Amino acid sequence: MSYNPSNWYWTVAGSTSQVWSSARAIYVPVTDTAYAAWLAAGNLPSRILNEAELLEVIQQQAPGSYPQFPSGLVAYAAASWAKLLAAGRIFNVAASGASAVSVLCDGKNSTRADLALLTLFGQANPTGTKVWVDNGGVSTVLTGAQFVTLATLAGNWTSDTYPALQTLLGEINASPPTVTTTAQIDAYAWPAS
């Protein structure tokens, strides 16, 4: 078989357990049947120093195929998660005798600190009111009880994203991986609660 960078195998960083398959855009174990057949046909994998070097080779020699390595996907997933928290979420809060209001709450440390202080106020003064200004600049008057509810909803949602991120990372690092593209990460279903 002649060298075809779109359908080739690389040994990355001296690994003895896996090779990169450009045809499938994933690492495969050295026991993979397609890889074994490829070797049996007289081919040898190319040795390459690291993923960055491999990416450069593939971009130059096979511009149509763009590998998305697990390490890059892990970083992309972590950035997507951080972006999700920073963007915030709208929570509907109501207190006894008060109508429900939608409140945007982001994941910034300053927002968390403000919400923590207002929750303390709410625990001491459930019927007292304070103004909440969300990250979009919208002001809403909330009761102390609503601040407690908002903090609970925001805290629950934020903590629910941690195991979701771990599940996503597990799918990226699985053998074989079930998440292999940034598009799959973009479409990932983060917790709605």
For residue 7, what is the DSSP state?
Answer: S
Q: Show pLDDT as tens, one digit a residue, over the chain (193 residues).
A: 688 888 899 999 999 999 988 887 778 899 999 999 999 999 999 999 988 788 778 777 766 555 667 777 887 888 888 888 888 788 888 765 656 666 777 777 677 788 889 999 999 999 999 988 876 777 888 889 988 988 888 888 888 888 999 999 999 888 778 888 788 888 998 887 5
Region class of 10: left (phi > 0), else alpha (psi between -120 and 50), else beta: beta
pLDDT at 123: 94
pLDDT score recorded for residue 41: 92
How far apart, in whole angstroms, are the C-alpha atoms of residue 15 and residue 128? 63
The whole-number pLDDT of residue 134 equals 75
Q: What is the pLDDT of residue 47?
A: 95
52 is written with which tokens?
Answer: 């960055």
Domain ranges of the chain: 9-67, 76-186
144 vs 128: CA distance, rounded Å: 5
Q: What is the pLDDT of residue 35?
A: 96
Residue 84 C-alpha from the chain's centroid = 9
